[in-house]
Structures are given as C-alpha cells and as structure tokens.
Amino acid sequence: MISKTMEKLLNEQINKELYSANLYLSMCSYFKDLELDGFANFYRIQSKEELFHASKQFDYMHDVGGKVTMMAVDAPETKFKSIIHVFQLTLEHEKTVTSSINNLVNQALSESDFATHNFLQWFIAEQVEEEASISNLLKKLEMIGDNSSAMYLLNAELGQRTYKEKSAGSNN
C-alpha cells in the first residue's frame, strides 16, 4: 500500500506522461507539415514511449493498492519557430520530467517506500537516456545549420527509428 501523498504524486506523474505524449504528437504534426517524415517518425515514437510510461505507472498504482485518478490533460503547444526550437523545447521538457521523477524518488525515500523507489529506478535510467538523445540531436542540428544535404541525411536517419516497447525489468 502506498501513502496518499505518493498516490497523489504518481497520479500527477501519469498526467504529465500523457501530456508529454500529446506534446510529442503535436511536434510530430509540425514535422509532417514540413514534409520531414523522419523527424515526424521520431516524435511519433517519442509519443508512444510516453504512453508506455503512463501505462507502466498506471499498472504500478494498481499493483500497490493505489487509486488511479485520471485528470484533464492540458493542450500542448502547437506552434513552433523552427526545427531547432522544437528540440530545445523537447530538452527543456525532458529536464522538467526528470525533475518530477526525482521528486517522486525523494518522496519515496522520505517515506521509506522502497518498492516505489525501486520501481522509479527504471524511469531514472530512462530520463538519462532521453536527455542524452535529445541533447545529441540538438547538437547535430546546430552543426547542420542551413545545410540541406545534412538535414536530408538526418531526416533519413530518424526515419529508420522503430518503436520497441521496453520491458519492465530492463533499461533498454
């Protein structure tokens, strides 16, 4: 059984994950409009991963006797200044999610809720991976600048990404 405080925080985190999924679908649409299908593919997969995170948290809440309370999900941003702007926003957003996960870990430790602490370790590793991936792509985009050939190659590379649901017990 988890505390009411942890239950509230996990419900808020589920909502944040659902918001993230919608935000990344909005970014996917932006890239579709630009005919950058590789970038759109990257963000569609990002959205699927966020839905998986919410689902994983949803299931955990039920496993530990918590009550899931679904909330309204805020509308995501829909207008973006540039490709680089999208990735800058993504990195900022992922850092916000990391902070939220860290807050959950701190709460779990303060309550000696070791089951939740253990559960959250997967998300800690996931956030390290997410921030590194987005940071890497942002650096590539900054190097590319206005080079359309390089942008074409990066778009093709991102188009090769496939969705692979990460197992509950692994970090990959």
Residues that constitute the known binding site for Fe cation: 17, 50, 53, 94, 127
Phi, psi values for residue 75, rounded to 5°: -70, 135
For residue 6, what are the contacts with CB-CB under 8 A and spacing of at least 6? Answer: 66, 104, 107, 108, 111, 113, 116
User: Which residues define the annotated binding site?
Assistant: 17, 50, 53, 94, 127
How many residues in the chain? 172
Max CA-CA distance within the chain?
55
Residue 116: name the closest of 61, 170, 71 by CA: 61
Residues 47 and 24: beta-carbon distance below 8 Å = yes
Residue 2 to residue 11: CA distance in whole angstroms: 12
Q: Please give the structure tokens belonging to residue 31.
A: 């890239």
Q: Please give the structure tokens belonging to residue 131.
A: 């921030």
Phi, psi values for residue 64, rounded to 5°: -105, 15
